[in-house]
């Protein structure tokens, strides 16, 4: 253990502290007012590296940061660090040229800067959608299966579907249909609203693209699916429960539609861990062997066995290894072959979801946060397992379908948020409280003074375990005194400070600091809160500097669970940089703050996010690679939900709320109707109206100050709170922001 020592640079010591140092040690701080013994120098001592846990200065480069945050593991081939120390996007994966890389800090700057300075004036947090990455993921998945099919002489083809439950964003789903048209890529729906959006989108897609209908079904759902069949959409109704068959038979006869039917098989194969809990014989959905046989028999009795054309199964999300995958696919293919033997017109085997992604870059099959394979290995295992099983039974190779949602959309979305302040690195000193140790001594009991003398003596002896014992004992006695009302708050704070100094000096204090971020974990990262899912979180800037702080992230919600304190690699803290400027003060945007990105969150997070504390969703921009001077163009920008909008979701009426507040303003600010009174009323009413239209997240000082500014708003005596809002375009969700490729002039246009 090191000697009890405190670095002079790390703390300011109040009057009453004596500083004594030997020739080969840092100074030791001993409060002479608490000790009758003479102060002695400590010699031949060492200082623990854990004193402040700050490493010695050394050269640092972006490549060091890439290694520290494992960016080359989870981020390849889409994310890297440039020479400026910023995270960049490689929109076309391995085929991205250097001049095509997109600097995320440049995106943040353009999005957050005021429109008067050429930006979009959007408030963070921010979701950056990258359609080029989405296209590359879809093409890579298709290419992996095409290669496996060709190399193994497989007798059919692959055509995937995207399960829209992963992320139902309109423009993203439309992108998938557009990008997937050459590959007959389709959609999967699990509810009536999802089926409606899938039907609408696929009207512009490939006519051979599959529309897979999963989930619980009532007569209305089945009627809707049959209507899709009438609209020449390649619709398949997948039976999740045996009783659904009766509805399908009844409704298809009423509507005179010959349906295409699939069955979801409940396999024995499952994997351990959270993501495999929904599979196996006890899974939520699917038919067991007896039910499969009864369905086939009932279809035969109704002359509809030819309608049964697809077998679906799902082992579970994030399948960890190809060996487990092959086991499940092989089992399902045996069922497929048996249905062919029974006379069903089987054509498609749907291997479901489960294609995992590597959240932590470890390529490990032993973690829910990683998988031990890539796209090529996955496709090869699926094709080989189906081919082998079918060849043994002399069954024609079926069309292979997969519902790979997580693997398809996770990479295309980046959540960017700002750290607005951090907890203080050291406790306040006695000097900062205006206290001296003689004052402190007058408030302590004899037992507490004895503990302090023993603490000092142990420090002189170098007995650090005893130091801790007496420091803890002293602190507990003082806490008890405070609870009894015999010790002041100033005294208690001083004792806390002494205990903290002792802990820091001998390396037992917690070096982790709390970074307060402008975010709601419940809204934007619900899987972290709900199931402990870990996502890569990395500063998107200053990666050419060595991070010197260990931090956890605390969000804006007034909930103890609103924090991120578990990170990829099993870490309980994240390497971070010191915040520039004074903590607790938001920057004015335009790159002045400290920005972090959460990556691989494109699946499920937006769909699952709620309205905890009435924090709505982030602002969203769609960023495409451009050949212009800035390498990117923002083709769509939508501000996050306003305070009024989230209130309306919870059945409140913002217009009536505003009228109530406006009436109270008129009651409280009254006089002789002087110009000053009228100005004061208008200013307050204007500020209240603006609050309904602003986002619930933290705003910078300039924005907050505008609450009390008249801002030249002419309300014209209007009664509706929208009359006070200065820029209606800002809150119009149909607004698109377009940046020119040849200059930096950004304008809004209605999409």
Active site residues: 558
Separation CA 155–CA 231 (nearest Å): 30
Separation CA 223–CA 226 (nearest Å): 5
670, 711, 663: which is closest to 687 by C-alpha?
711
Q: Are 698 and 555 in contact (CB under 8 A)?
A: no
607: left (phi over 0), alpha (psi -120 to 50) or beta: alpha
Q: Are 183 and 209 in contact (CB under 8 A)?
A: no
Rg (CA), the chain: 32
Separation CA 376–CA 524 (nearest Å): 31
CA 215 to chain centre: 26
Separation CA 554–CA 517 (nearest Å): 6
Separation CA 381–CA 365 (nearest Å): 15
Cβ contacts of 469-475, under 8 Å, gap ≥ 24:
471/498, 471/499, 471/502, 471/503, 472/499, 474/448, 474/498, 474/499, 475/499
Separation CA 142–CA 186 (nearest Å): 12
- Encode burial over 113-151: b for 16+ CB neighbours within 10 A, e otherwise: bebeeebbbbbbbbbbbbbbbbbbbbbbbbebbeebbee
Q: Are 363 and 372 in contact (CB under 8 A)?
A: yes
Alpha helices in 256-374 (DSSP H): 289-301, 322-341
Give the pairing of strands 186-189 and 161-163. Answer: parallel
Q: What is the DSSP letter of 462?
A: T
Separation CA 114–CA 713 (nearest Å): 19
Separation CA 575–CA 579 (nearest Å): 13
Separation CA 236–CA 211 (nearest Å): 6
442, 501, 510, 439: which is closest to 475 by C-alpha?
501
Cβ atoms within 10 Å, residue 534: 22
CA distances from 614 to 227, 236, 617, 660 (A): 39, 39, 10, 20
Q: Are 6 and 507 in contact (CB under 8 A)?
A: no
Counting beta carbons within 10 angstroms of the beta carbon of residue 55, is it exposed (0 to 12), middle (13 to 18) or buried (19 or more)?
exposed
For 545, the 3-state DSSP assignment is coil
- Any idea how long the chain is? 751
270, 266, 310: which is closest to 284 by C-alpha?
266
């Amino acid at each position: 253990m090191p000697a009890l020592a405190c670095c002079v640079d790390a703390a300011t010591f109040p009057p009453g502290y004596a500083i004594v140092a030997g020739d080969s040690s840092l100074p030791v701080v001993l409060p002479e007012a608490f000790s009758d013994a003479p102060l002695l120098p400590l010699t031949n001592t060492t200082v623990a590296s854990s004193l402040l846990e700050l490493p010695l200065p050394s050269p640092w480069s972006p490549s060091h940061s890439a290694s520290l945050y494992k960016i080359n593991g989870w981020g390849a081939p889409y994310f890297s660090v440039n020479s400026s120390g910023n995270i960049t996007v490689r929109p076309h994966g391995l085929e991205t040229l250097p001049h095509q890389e997109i600097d995320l800090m440049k995106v943040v700057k353009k999005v957050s800067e005021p429109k008067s300075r050429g930006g979009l004036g959007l408030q963070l947090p921010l979701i950056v959608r990258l359609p080029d990455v989405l296209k590359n993921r879809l093409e890579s998945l298709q290419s992996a299966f095409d290669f496996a099919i060709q190399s193994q002489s497989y007798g059919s083809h692959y055509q995937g579907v995207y399960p829209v439950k992963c992320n139902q964003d309109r423009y993203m789903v439309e992108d998938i249909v557009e990008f997937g048209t050459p590959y007959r890529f389709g959609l999967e729906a699990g509810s009536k609203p999802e089926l409606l959006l899938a039907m609408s989108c696929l009207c512009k897609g490939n006519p051979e693209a599959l529309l897979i209908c999963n989930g619980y079904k009532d007569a209305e759902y089945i009627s809707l699916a049959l209507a899709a069949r009438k609209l020449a959409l390649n619709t398949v109704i997948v039976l999740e429960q045996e009783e659904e068959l009766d509805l399908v038979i009844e409704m298809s006869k009423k509507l005179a539609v010959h349906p295409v039917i699939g069955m979801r098989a409940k396999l024995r194969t499952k994997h351990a861990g959270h993501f495999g809990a929904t599979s196996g014989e006890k899974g939520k959905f699917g038919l067991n062997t007896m039910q499969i046989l009864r369905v086939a028999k009932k279809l035969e009795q109704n002359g509809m066995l030819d309608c049964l054309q697809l077998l679906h199964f799902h082992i579970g999300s994030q399948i960890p290894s190809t060996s487990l995958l092959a086991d499940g696919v092989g089992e399902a293919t045996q069922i497929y072959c048996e249905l062919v033997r029974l006379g069903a017109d089987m054509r498609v085997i749907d291997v479901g979801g489960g294609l995992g992604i590597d959240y932590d870059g470890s390529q490990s099959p032993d973690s829910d946060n990683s998988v031990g394979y890539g796209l090529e290995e996955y496709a090869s295992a699926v094709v080989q397992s189906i081919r082998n099983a079918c060849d043994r039974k002399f069954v024609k190779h079926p069309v292979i379908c997969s519902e790979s949602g997580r693997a398809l959309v996770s990479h295309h979305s980046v959540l960017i948020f700002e750290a607005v302040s951090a907890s203080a690195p050291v406790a306040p000193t006695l000097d900062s409280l205006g206290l001296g140790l003689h004052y402190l001594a007058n408030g302590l009991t004899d037992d507490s003074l004895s503990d302090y003398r023993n603490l000092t003596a142990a420090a002189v002896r170098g007995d650090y375990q005893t130091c801790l014992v007496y420091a803890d004992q002293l602190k507990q006695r003082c806490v008890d005194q405070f609870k009894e009302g015999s010790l002041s708050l100033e005294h208690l704070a001083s004792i806390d400070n002494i205990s903290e100094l002792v802990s820091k000096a001998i390396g037992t204090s917690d070096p982790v600091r709390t970074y307060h971020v402008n975010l709601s974990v419940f809204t934007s990262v619900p899987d972290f809160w709900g199931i402990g899912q870990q996502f890569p979180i990395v500063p998107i800037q200053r990666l050419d500097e060595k991070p010197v702080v260990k931090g956890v992230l605390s969000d804006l919600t007034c909930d103890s669970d609103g924090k991120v304190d578990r990170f990829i690699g099993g870490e309980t803290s994240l390497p971070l940089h010191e915040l520039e400027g004074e903590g607790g003060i938001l920057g004015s945007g335009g790159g002045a703050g400290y920005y972090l990105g959460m990556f691989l969150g494109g699946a499920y997070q937006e769909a699952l996010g709620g309205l905890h504390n009435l924090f709505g969703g982030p602002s969203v921009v769609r960023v495409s690679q451009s050949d212009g001077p800035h390498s990117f163009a923002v083709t769509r920008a939508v501000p996050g939900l306003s305070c009024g909008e989230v209130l309306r979701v919870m059945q409140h009426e913002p217009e009536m709320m505003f009228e109530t507040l406006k009436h109270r303003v008129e009651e409280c600010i009254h006089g002789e109707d002087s110009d000053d009174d009228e100005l004061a009323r208008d200013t307050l009413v204007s500020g209240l109206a603006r609050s309904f239209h602003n986002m619930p997240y933290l705003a910078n000082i300039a924005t907050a100050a505008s609450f009390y500014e008249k801002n030249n708003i002419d309300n014209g005596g209007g009664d509706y709170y929208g009359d006070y809002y200065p820029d209606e375009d800002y809150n119009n969700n149909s607004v698109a922001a377009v940046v020119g490729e040849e200059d930096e002039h950004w304008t809004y246009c209605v999409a």
